[in-house]
Structure 1
Amino acid sequence: MNAKAEAFTNNPEDTKSSEYYQEQYEQSFAEKWDELINWEARAQSEGRFFIDLLKERGKTKILDVAAGTGFHSIRLIEEGFDVTTVDGSPEMLAQAFRNGRNRGHILSTIQADWRSLNKSVDGKYDAVICLGNSFTHLFSERARRKTLAEFYAALRHDGILILDQRNYDRILDEGFSTKHKYYYAGKDVSAEPESISDELTRFKYTFPDGSVHYLNMFPLRKDYTRRLMTEVGFQYIETYGDFKEESPDGEKPDFYIHVAEKQYDPNRDKDE
């Protein structure tokens, strides 16, 4: 374990910085990630939500900016999308490339820092996707605004951003609970917060072989995330809970998915 990775284990309060977000995924953790999410279980839990959403809106050229080990990149490629696979962690990106190759695909991969994304990524995209609760790795508002602005700039005039996050409102206000159904659905693994505060949520990931890893995250509240998107320039945002437009009464989702549109639609103002 390198010195920075060790800091996440021993001194989490010292690493409340966006500068560390790429360092958390050391090679041993990247190799465990697929065991944590369980591709088959995750595909079953989210169904065709992202695939259908993109197809219904006519989006074909996709920038997956938090690709991790390639789950969504590969699913979209297999549905006919043109996907560019990006991650800040070289370890995660290497694992994504191996996963793609094992399934008969050669991923177009780019290692890039979100905060300077367009220095590494050329062209414009129909959609930028930032999934897997990844945006919460940024600890400063300045970094979050800069990153959203980079996403915005990478989109065509009518492009969309799809960004998800844990339901930190529930975690902060009521404590942690999970259905263990969405995102981290691996068998005999756990992903639970070891400490919770308004400034830092430290998650502990435990695997059947006894290995333990940690990730530090900023607990984004839903309305705050939506406000930042609007202030950066996105014109309309629709938020889903656990892949549904509306959760049943009394049911609080584990995850939120925000779909933000870049293009202004004057007809929507008339409808509202």
Structure 2
Amino acid sequence: MTADHRTDSETPELGRTVQEFGDDPTEVRESTHYKHEYVQTFVDKWDELIDWRARYESEGKFFVQQLRDRGVKSVLDVATGTGFHSVRLLEEGFETVVSADGSAEMLAKAFDNGMKFGGHILRVVQADWRWLNRDVHGEYDAIICLGNSFTHLFSEKDRRKALAEFYAMLKHDGVLILDQRNYDSILDNGFSSKHQYYYCGDGVVAEPEHVDDGLARFRYEFSDGSEYHLNMFPLRKDYTRRLMHEVGFQKIETFGDFQSTYSDDEPDFFVHIAEKAYLEEENNEEENEA
């Protein structure tokens, strides 16, 4: 068994420094491969890519306000990465924030960042989204899955399973906030980026090296000359919305770069806000119309 094809139960050791993609990196299209991509040296540079200060300013109060408008008190951050949004929500006074990620390296960095930025002791859990209920306990007012993280899932079966797990862990009136790159524009028009909202670090290049209908392989170059890659699935916006509807979310609102009004080819990122609340009146109206 090669390093690129470990089973789910085989967790890579912490402290790895070299990414593993095998002989043909564009053929690596597995939902669990991210574990071999977020090596320690890449994780250590991740905050250079994000730039916490610039990210804070670029997104403003968008996520905080969306959650507050819905009376959210408890949040499960299922793709916490280095902890930016978990720390932000704690700083904003949310009562319960649990920080989950599939990468042990990311969780260790997030925990350190929690202490570094405000002295917060993050509640971190290593979890696979497909078995989220096994690894994380309780129900939450909101689940956030940010940072283009959902695109690490390469099969529709895995995407449906993950969304079903998110749905099950939400309270009856809970909300899921999930974002993604504007892969529609990348696939149809080629890549362009304002580099303004998500990856705000100066001196860092993040751009696709290979794109087809089943893979977006991004290259990340840092000012010291180091280079890393991530293999992701290029989700189309309407496809993501359809999966959410089919899993059970009834009301889904999509923003482009935090704006409710946009042309589809303009935003760098889409943010989907999916509500679980059962809309009985709308269902009755549809039945009457039928």
Cα distance between partner residues in 1 of 2:23 and 2:208? 15
Aligned residue in 2 for 1:138? 153
Given candidates 258, 267, 276, the residue that maps to 1:253 is 267
1:86 to 97, 100, 103: 100
What is the Cα deviation at residue 9 of structure 1? 7.2
Q: Which amino acid aligns with 1:148?
A: L
The CA deviation string for residues 51-94 of structure 1, in whole angstroms up to 9 with x for no partner, is 01100110110000000000000000000112000000000000
Residues 127-174 of structure 1: CA deviation (Å, up to 9, x unaligned): 000000000000000000000001011100110100000000000000
Residue 20 of structure 1, CA deviation: 1.2
Cα 1:250/1:228, change in 2 over 3 Å? closer
Greater shift in the superposed pair: 5-14 or 161-170:
5-14
One-letter code aligned to 1:183: Y
Alignment of 1:184-195 (within 5 A): 184-195=199-210
Q: SS at the partner of 1:184?
A: coil
Query: 2 CA distance for matches of 1:10 and 1:97?
Result: 34
Distance 1:250 1:200 in 2: 21
Which protein is bigger by CA-based radius of gyration?
2
TM-score by length of 1: 0.95
Say which SS state the counterpart of residue 161 (structure 2) adopts: helix
Q: What does residue 211 of structure 1 align with?
A: 226
Instruction: Label 1:250 to 1:130 Cα distance change in 2 as closer, same or farther (>3 A).
Output: closer
Q: Is this contact kept in 1: 2:19–2:38, CA < 8 A? A: no
Aligned to 2:51: 38
Match of 1:231 in 2: 246
Task: Say if 1:86 and 1:111, in contact at 8 Å, map to a contact too.
Answer: yes
Q: Aligned equivalents of 1:201 and 1:250: distance in 2?
A: 19
Q: CA deviation at 1:187?
A: 0.5
Q: Which amino acid aligns with 2:48?
A: E
CA distance in 2, matches of 1:111, 1:212: 26
In 1, Cα distance between equivalents of 2:259 and 2:77: 22
- Cα RMSD of the aligned pairs, angstroms, is 1.8
Q: Which runs of structure 2 are paired with 1:117-136 in the superposition (5 Å)?
A: 117-136=132-151
Is residue 96 of structure 1 aligned with residue 107 of structure 2? Answer: no
Pairwise mapping of residues 8-87 of structure 1 onto structure 2 (< 5 A)?
A: 8=21, 10-81=23-94, 82-87=96-101
| Structure 1 residues 136 and 251: CA distance shift in structure 2, 3 A | closer
1:15, CA displacement in angstroms? 1.5
- How far off is 1:182 after superposition? 1.1
Amino acid paired to 1:254: D
1:45 shift after superposition: 0.6
Amino acid at match of 1:229: M
Q: Which segment drifts farther, 196-205 or 9-18?
A: 9-18
Tell me the distance in 2 between the aligned counterparts of 1:268 and 1:259. Answer: 18
Q: How does 1:190-201 map to 2 (within 5 A)?
A: 190-201=205-216
**Equivalent pairs, count:** 270
- What is the identity, as a one-letter code, of the residue corresponding to 1:123? G
2:13 aligns with none
Residues 185 and 265 in structure 2, CA contact (< 8 A), matched pair in contact too: no
Shift of the 178–10 alpha-carbon distance from structure 1 to 2, 3 Å rule, reads: farther
The one-letter code matched in structure 2 to 1:68 is G
1:22 match: secondary structure: helix
Residue in 1 aligned with 2:7?
none
**Take 2:145 and 2:264, find their aligned partners in 1: how far apart are those partners?**
28
Letter in 2 for 1:52: Q
Shift of 1:23: 2.4
Percent of aligned positions with the same letter in both sequences?
Answer: 61
Mark the runs of 5 or more structure 2 residues left unpaired by the alignment: 5-17
Alpha-carbon distance in 2 for matches of 1:237, 1:34: 30
Q: Give the letter aligned to residue 198 of structure 1.
A: D
- Residue deviations 1:105-139 (CA, integer Å, cap 9, x gap): 00000000111111011110000000000000000
Contact 2:82 2:107 in 1 (8 A): yes
Offset of 1:266 from its aligned partner?
Answer: 3.3
